[in-house]
Structure 1
């Protein structure tokens, strides 16, 4: 496999690994749950997800097998945080479920070095 194909494969792997972090869920850690006499209620929780990445990457007719374990993804993880906050009054509530991840990595080739920096924010916002 040529260096260019390896470089493209590394880029595709790093770009694909952010969504892989949002895989199987772990039970959340509730930080605080409060209800006041005025009818307001508050909740906050932190949680974490972890997965591996396995499959094929194809670019311009070149196929590369991808097999990254959680340890490989964590080696390239610079920062991540996931959490949810719920604020409500009476029967109405607002939920914000957010995650942020920052990944970086590089690969040295024969003639070039490829560096990839990726930041991703995912937010789900619900009013019930």
Structure 2
């Protein structure tokens, strides 16, 4: 929880940094907050010298096995520039059967915090289509333990506890379908080294209820790996996103 508070504090600080010019210095800044729920399927694996332990939690069971979550994003815009901060924290604890008789099942406890920070610049804006490109950083804090329960073979456990930062490049595409509907696609890639790599895709549709409030529906995929060949953590999350956005 202390690490959660730290990353939440980082996002709050980023919010204050980008929001202050919007209110105190330059009224041309536009800022929005989005609070969302990501009902993701989670695939996790930990590789150790003793072998690989892996598990899958379907998104249909994600809410049932979710111990805690916080997900929110802020964006501020001025002219061609956009600054974005996005924080997703999930704490999952679950068990599932395993094939065969070597093990009687697997228990997993996976905590993941991901803080995305982007600076984007608009390179195209015409006929309802806007394209932004840029870069930033993605900070991870992962704490996972996976245990194979005894069966015909003895039980064993694997754990991974690490925080790290990947540099990121990103591109965003937005198309105004109508006065109320907007489609947005975001693609990024980070890491750029053999022991750390991550990438993400987000496809969303936003419906404007009025000038301030919007409903957001999306599909999001995140894939990451970190560590050497005999001490590696891999995780992918994919599934629908439901959110509410406020513009001011």
TM-score class normalised by the smaller sequence: 0.3 to 0.5
Give the structure with the higher percent strand: 2
Could you say which structure has the greater relative contact order, defined with CA pairs below 8 angstroms and 6 or more residues apart? Answer: 1
When normalised by structure 1's length, the TM-score is: 0.46
Give the structure with the higher percent helix: 1
When normalised by structure 2's length, the TM-score is: 0.27
